Amino acid sequence: MTHLVLAPMEGLVDWRVRQLLSATGGFDHCVTEFIRVSQNLFPAHVFYRYCPELMTGGKTASGQPVLVQLMGHDPQLMAENAVVAAQLGAPGIDINFGCPSKTVNRHEAGASLLKCPDNLFHIIRAVRRAVPADIPVSAKIRLGYADKELFLDNARAVEAGGAQHITVHARTKMEGYKPPAHWEYLARIREEISITMTANGEIWTVEDFIRCRDISGCSSFMLGRGAIATPDLARKIKDRTGGPAWKTWQWPDILQLMVTYLDLMVDTDNDEHKAGRIKQWMALLRRGYAEADDFFALIRRITDANMLRQILSDAAQHPPKQIAAE
């Protein structure tokens, strides 16, 4: 059975996006944006800010578990924060060894730790020993930092540290998000480890998913930018693999999704921030929908959230060309 995970994407996939995309029923679980652990043992309100689902049993409104993701280099501090997350009800702890951000990597975190497999081992072991046995610990890695020389060693270190699951983004840190993703390496990792694995990277369409599945041999897949560019991608994949039939969303459905997203930002008092989030999502939608180009041009200079909502709502009821002409 195909298992689909909604990827954490810093500055984009917050609890609102998790709620909207998990509501389609295509995703089996989600992962939060990373909580950067550098010097402090965080109080509860920090975890609630990143993962308000902790207040509802660690699940989205539609019932999908949400793992709390931590990122840092100090094993003890990572372990202490993992304990707090577990006490607050996190259904699992995920550790980020894959972030390619230059800022993050300058501070010994994210993908920079892939330079030495011992880094992964000690952090995972500390977290695994600290949290209750019934709380799963997982890790996300890339194929390496500058090259792929240590891709198997890093995967083995994750397993040896005690993680029950590993997600592998099929590119190095230096490759960033540049195509292609090297799914063939995932098949080699699967042969070397006994824990379950999720494939990640460059899955934009159902056809991409099928190719990744066939090359990697995985049955679990993490969708990131592809799920933003095509918000019902997870359901379309489940439909193709024997799940419930799904009627593909059309452009008006996407616009209505944007309206709902804007409404969920009612607790954000900054209009520019609200408009910026909509434009950020709309920019990625251009990958999946031809109509998004013209619509992005239409809204790119709008900073008033009420005006933006009205345009989105009107466009959801009328052909985009009519809205543009008005």
β-partners of residue 35 are 70
β strands within 35-145, DSSP E: 35-36, 66-71, 93-97, 137-142
DSSP3 helix / strand / coil % (the chain, rounded to 5): 50, 15, 35
Helices 15-22 + 251-264 axis angle, to 10? 140
β strands within 72-130, DSSP E: 93-97
Among residues 239, 235, 217, the alpha carbon closest in space to that of 226 is found at 235
Among residues 101, 5, 20, 4, the alpha carbon closest in space to that of 281 is found at 20
Alpha-carbon gap, residue 203 to 186, rounded angstroms: 14
Per-residue exposure over 201-234, b if at least 16 CB sit within 10 Å of its own CB, e if not: bbbbbbebbeebbebbbbebbbbbbbbbbbbbbb
β strands within the chain, DSSP E: 3-6, 29-31, 35-36, 66-71, 93-97, 137-142, 165-169, 196-200, 220-223
Alpha-carbon gap, residue 149 to 296, rounded angstroms: 42
The count of other CB atoms within 10 Å of the CB of residue 94 is 27
Among residues 19, 20, 130, the alpha carbon closest in space to that of 82 is found at 130
Tokens of residue 138, six digits: 């997982």
Alpha-carbon gap, residue 125 to 78, rounded angstroms: 10
| Active-site residue list | 99
The bridge status of strand 137-142 relative to strand 220-223 is: unpaired
